[in-house]
Chain A
Amino acid sequence: MNRFAVLFQSLDGTTSSTARTLALAAYLREAPEPDRLWTIALLTGRRPRRVITAGKLAEWAAEAAGIPDWLFAESYSVAGDLAETIAAILPPAETTTNRSLSDWIATLRALSAQDEPARRAGILAAWAGLDATERFLFNKLLTGGFRMGVARGLMQRALAQATGLDEATLAHRLMGDWSPDTTTFAALITGDGAQASRPYPFCLAHPLDADPDALGDPTDWLAEWKWDGIRGQLVCRDGRVFLWSRGEELVTDRYPEIVAAAQALPEGTVLDGEILGWAGAPLPFATLQRRIGLKTVSRRTLAEVPVIFMAYDLLEADSTDLRPQPFATRRAALEALATDLPPELPLSPLARFDDWATLAAHRQAARDRGAEGVMLKQRTSPYHAGRKRGDWWKWKLDPFSLDAVLIYAQAGHGRRAGLYTDFTFALWDGPALVPVAKAYSGLTDAEFAEITRWVRAHTTDRFGPVRQVVPELVFELGFEGIAESPRHKSGLALRFPRMLRWRRDKPAAEADRIETARALLAHPAPRAYL
C-alpha cells in the first residue's frame, strides 16, 4: 500500500500532466505485477465489490474517533468526501504495516465473506495500521469511486511509456469486460488475452465552433446526422452478441430487440452506432432514458419505448480490424452489409451536400428530424482511438436557452466541497415559480464563490443539505433539448441543462415564463424519413 500511496501522492500533488504521466509510468514499470494490474483496474473504474455500506463505515469511524454522529456528519459536509473524512478524524496510526495493494484487496475480499462483527473488527484493525494517506486509499477501496483525476488518455500514455507499446493498441486492450480476477498484467497488456466481447476504443469528434469553410474542399467530407441517443458498439464474435455503451458498460441484456436483430450479422462483425428510441422517427432522449436504468425490460416498456441501433461505422468484418482503412471504404462496406439487415439495425443516412451552404442548411433543419446537428467525417480518416482533432467534427445546433430564477442551492462535493454549486432553477407560472431544471456547471470558481456568499446570506429555509434562497438571481440556462415529462412538476424535462451566464442585469420578475418553455416543445415534431 505504501508504494501505491506514494503514487497517489505524486498524482495528487501536481497539476502537471507530464509529471503525472511520468509518475504513473514509473509505478507501472516497478510495482509488482498484481499491483500494477489492480492499479490499472482501479484507475479505469473497475473496483472490488463493496464490503460494507457507507453508513456503517461512518458509524464505526465516528466511534473509533470518539465523536458523536452529528459531528461526523458536520465534518463530512465540510470535507465533502467520506474516505477523506474518515482518514482525517481517526487517531494517528499506532503501528505501520507495509502490505501490498493486492494484499489489501485480498483482505477486503476475505472480509466480505464474513459477518458484520468480523468485518468491523477487520476494518478497525486496518485503520489502526495505516497512515493518513494509506487510510484514505483504503477507504476509497471500501467505498469505491477511485478517480484520482487520471483520465483514460493519461493512463494510456503512462502505460505506453512503461511498456513501449503504442497508445492505440493499449487503449484497445484496456477496453471491455476484464477484471484482475480473470486476467493477469501480462495477458492483458503485453500478451494477447483478448476476450470475444472486447470493444474497440470509440472514435470521438471535436465540436466545430467556426464555419466549416476552413475544412477545405467539401467533397473530401461525408456528413451524417448527429443523433441524440446512446453511443454504442455492437460486437458479434464467437456466435455471441455484446452491446457496449460508450461508458464501457455492457448493456446487452437491456436492449433485447437489438440483440435479436444482431443475429442477422455475420460472425466477426463490430458496428459503431447509436442506441436510439424509435417509433418511425427518433423518440426524445427523455423517453429513451426510461430504459437506461432497466436491467430487465417489461413487455409494456418494450412496446412504449422501442429502440434501434443506428449503424455509423463498420469496425470489424470477417474478424478483420477495419479501423486503419479510410472512412469512405468502411462506409461502402457498411452500406453493402446493411442491405439485408432487419429494421432495428438501420444504416445512418448521409446528409448529402456539395457545398458548405447546403450542409449549413442541413444542420439548421436537424431539429426537424429529431437530430442535434450534423457529424462531419473526412473520407480518408481511419477510425481513431479516442478524440483526435481534425478528422471528425460534430457541428451541433445552438442550444436552446431560457432565463430562470435560482430557488434552491446545494453544496458540491470533492473539488467543490463547501461551495454552493448545485442549483435548482424555476420559471414563472402565473405568480408562482415552478422548478424546471437542475444545473451545476458553466460558471467560474469566482462566480461560485460569490454565489456561495450570497446563498449563505439569503437562505430562507433548509431541507437537509438543500437551502431555499430568496428568488432574486437570474441565470441564462442553455440546454440541448426539451420534452414533456409527467415526472416533473413543470411537466417539462430539459436535456443537458447548464448555466450559460449569470444575468446580473435581470431582475427575477423578468425571468422567462413556463409558456415560453412550452413553446419550444411546439417545434415541428420529428418526421420519419427512412
Chain B
Amino acid sequence: MARTKAASVDVKCSIRAPLPKLSAPCKACSTGPPPARRYDQVMARNPVLHLTERGLYCPAGDFFIDPWRPVPRALITHGHSDHARTGHGAYLATHAALPVMRHRLGPITAEGICYAETRRIGGAIVSFHPAGHVPGSAQIRVQVAGEVWVVSGDYKTGGDAISTPFEPVPCDTFITECTFGLPVFRWQPEAAVMAEINRWWAENRAAGRISLIGAYAFGKAQRLLAGLDPGIGSILTHGAVEATNAVLRAQGLALPETRQVTIEVSAKTHPGALVIAPPAALAGPWARRFGPAATAFASGWMALRGHRRRYGVDRGFVLSDHADWAGLNAAVVATGATRVLATHGYTAAFARWLEGRGLQAGVLETAFGQTEDETAE
C-alpha cells in the first residue's frame, strides 16, 4: 500500500535525503536566502565528531551523542525523548538527568556524571556542562588531541528556578541547536511572563472559570509550577505531569502542592483551579470535565500569532526552554568557537547568518527536535 506509507512517513525518525535547504522567498522583498553549507563542506579532515546514520559519532572515543538509533555507548544531553532514546547498550548522563531518563526509558544500563567532571573515554576527554534547558540538562564537551568540540544539546541562556543555569564552554567547534534561530523570537524575562500567567489565573478564578494550561510534562510543567502563586487557588495536574513531578521531587526539587486529576476531580470539586496538562490532553475528551474553561499554552511558539491561533487556545504565553535569537547569538560568541554547526531548528538561516558574521558555519541534519514549525519544543 504505497498510499499509506507515503502519507504517514515519519520525518522525525528518519534521516531525510538532503533536500535543497533554500527557503521560500519573501513576497515583500522577493529575495531568497543564499543556501547555507552542509556540515561536510565546512568539516576538517579528521573531525572530532561526525554524522552517521545512527547519530553524532566520536571515533576517538567510540561513542555517540544523543543517537537516534541503537548504539553500544551513548552520551545523553537530557531526558527529552528526541535526545534520550531506548535501546542503547550503555548510557552516560548527568546524575540529575538520570532519574527522568530511567522513568521514561525503563531499565537501562546507565552511569551518572557530575557537571564539569572530566572522564577519559578511549582517546577522548569528555565532560558535561549545564545547558539551563531542563533539570539535569547538559552540553557535552569532547576533547581529542587538543581540539575541543561542544555539543549544546538543547539550551537556554535566560535562567529559571529549576535548572542549573547555562554556562558557556570555550571550544573550537560548537554544535548548537537553533530551534528559535530567527530574529522574530525574543523572550521577555521569566518573571514578567509568570506574572502574566498568575494574573490570567486570578482573573479566571474571579470569573468562576477553571484555567487550563498546556505545557510539556517534563521541564515546562515544573517551571510553571515553580513560578505559580499557590495563594491564588489549587493546582491540578495531568497524570503524565504528576509522574514527572514525583521523580523530580524525589531528587529534591521543591514544587508547590499539586493534586493529580482523577475521576473524582472536576470544576465542582476545585472551582477556579489551574490545571497543567500536556498539550495533547487539552484538546481531547480529558479536558471536558472542567466545563467551559479558559485555555492557554506556554511555549516559545506562542510568540507567533499564527501558531497561537492555530492552536485554538485563548491565551499564548511566550515561555520557552530554548534560547531566543539574542540568546543563541550570545552563546555562540561566548564559546569563542571559530566553527559552528547548526542543528535542531532554523539551521540554514542561522548558519548563513553566522557565516555573515565571519564564522565558519554549516548545517548538521540531525533527527533532533521537530520540523521547524510544529508547536513543540
Which residues of A come within 8 Å of B, CB atoms?
12-16, 54-55, 57-59, 62, 65, 67-82, 84-85, 88-89, 92, 411, 413-419, 445, 449-450, 452-454, 456-459, 462, 464-465, 470, 472-473, 502, 504-507
Central interface residue in A67, A419, A452, A453, by most chain B CB within 10 Å: A453
Cross-chain contact A473 with B6 (CB below 8 angstroms): yes
Query: A58-B28, A73-B26, A78-B184 are known contacts. Are A472 and B314 too (CB-CB below 8 A)?
Result: no
Min distance, Cβ A313 to any Cβ of chain B, angstroms: 37
For window 285-308 of chain B, which residues contact chain A by CB distance below 8 Å?
Answer: 294, 303-307
Which of these binds chain A: B57-65, B72-80, B244-252, B349-357?
A: B349-357
Identify which of A15, A413, A472 contacts B6 (C-beta below 8 A): A472
Cross-chain contact B32 with A13 (CB below 8 angstroms): no
Cross-chain contact B2 with A74 (CB below 8 angstroms): no
- Residue pairs across A and B with Cβ atoms less than 8 A apart, 29 shown, are A13-B315, A55-B29, A59-B29, A71-B183, A71-B352, A73-B25, A73-B32, A74-B26, A74-B33, A74-B346, A76-B28, A78-B184, A78-B373, A84-B305, A89-B184, A413-B306, A414-B306, A415-B309, A416-B310, A445-B310, A450-B7, A454-B7, A456-B19, A457-B16, A458-B6, A462-B22, A464-B25, A465-B24, A473-B6
The docked-state distance in angstroms from the alpha carbon of A502 to that of B185 is 35
Q: Which residue of A lies closest to B17 (CB)?
A: A457
Central interface residue in B8, B31, B34, B372, by most chain A CB within 10 Å: B31
Cross-chain contact A453 with B9 (CB below 8 angstroms): yes
B186 within 8 A of A: yes
Q: Which residue of A lies closest to B370 (CB)?
A: A453
Min distance, Cβ B23 to any Cβ of chain A, angstroms: 6
Cross-chain contact B307 with A417 (CB below 8 angstroms): yes
Query: A67-B183, A504-B3 are known contacts. Are A418 and B306 too (CB-CB below 8 A)?
Result: yes
Cross-chain contact B306 with A417 (CB below 8 angstroms): yes
Query: Which residues of B are found within 8 Å of A73, using beta-carbon distances?
Result: 23, 25-26, 28-33
Query: Which residues of B are found within 8 Å of A70, using beta-carbon distances?
Result: 31-34, 352
For window 1-60 of chain B, which residues contact chain A by CB distance below 8 Å?
Answer: 2-4, 6-9, 11, 16, 19-20, 22-34
The docked-state distance in angstroms from the alpha carbon of A507 to that of B372 is 29
Identify which of A58, A69, A465, A473 contacts B7 (C-beta below 8 A): A473
Which residues of B come within 8 Å of A, CB atoms?
2-4, 6-9, 11, 16, 19-20, 22-34, 182-186, 294, 303-307, 309-310, 312-315, 346, 349, 352-353, 356, 371-374
Min distance, Cβ B193 to any Cβ of chain A, angstroms: 14
Query: Which residues of B are found within 8 Å of A75, using beta-carbon distances?
Result: 182-184
Q: Which residue of A lies closest to B24 (CB)?
A: A465
Query: Which residues of B are found within 8 Å of A12, using beta-carbon distances?
Result: 305
Query: Which residues of B are found within 8 Å of A450, using beta-carbon distances?
Result: 7-8
Cross-chain contact A82 with B20 (CB below 8 angstroms): no
Min distance, Cβ A297 to any Cβ of chain B, angstroms: 30
Query: A79-B306, A473-B7 are known contacts. Are A88 and B346 too (CB-CB below 8 A)?
Result: no
Cross-chain contact B184 with A454 (CB below 8 angstroms): no
Given contacts A415-B309, A417-B306, A458-B6, 6 further A-B contacts (CB under 8 A): A77-B23, A78-B373, A79-B306, A88-B303, A458-B9, A472-B2
The docked-state distance in angstroms from the alpha carbon of A84 to that of B310 is 16
Q: Which residue of A lies closest to B294 (CB)?
A: A14
The docked-state distance in angstroms from the alpha carbon of A456 to that of B20 is 11
The docked-state distance in angstroms from the alpha carbon of A138 to that of B122 is 60
The docked-state distance in angstroms from the alpha carbon of A71 to that of B22 is 12
The docked-state distance in angstroms from the alpha carbon of A413 to that of B349 is 20
Min distance, Cβ B94 to any Cβ of chain A, angstroms: 33
Cross-chain contact B23 with A74 (CB below 8 angstroms): yes
The docked-state distance in angstroms from the alpha carbon of A456 to that of B6 is 12
Query: Which residues of B are found within 8 Å of A79, using beta-carbon distances?
Result: 184, 304-306
Central interface residue in B2, B304, B346, B371, by most chain A CB within 10 Å: B304
The docked-state distance in angstroms from the alpha carbon of A470 to that of B5 is 13
Q: Which residue of A lies closest to B181 (CB)?
A: A74
The docked-state distance in angstroms from the alpha carbon of A54 to that of B27 is 9
The docked-state distance in angstroms from the alpha carbon of A171 to that of B219 is 50
The docked-state distance in angstroms from the alpha carbon of A76 to that of B7 is 28
Query: Which residues of A are found within 8 Å of B309, using beta-carbon distances?
Result: 414-415
Query: A414-B306, A419-B373, A453-B371 are known contacts. Are A74 and B182 too (CB-CB below 8 A)?
Result: yes
Cross-chain contact B33 with A71 (CB below 8 angstroms): yes
The docked-state distance in angstroms from the alpha carbon of A458 to that of B24 is 16
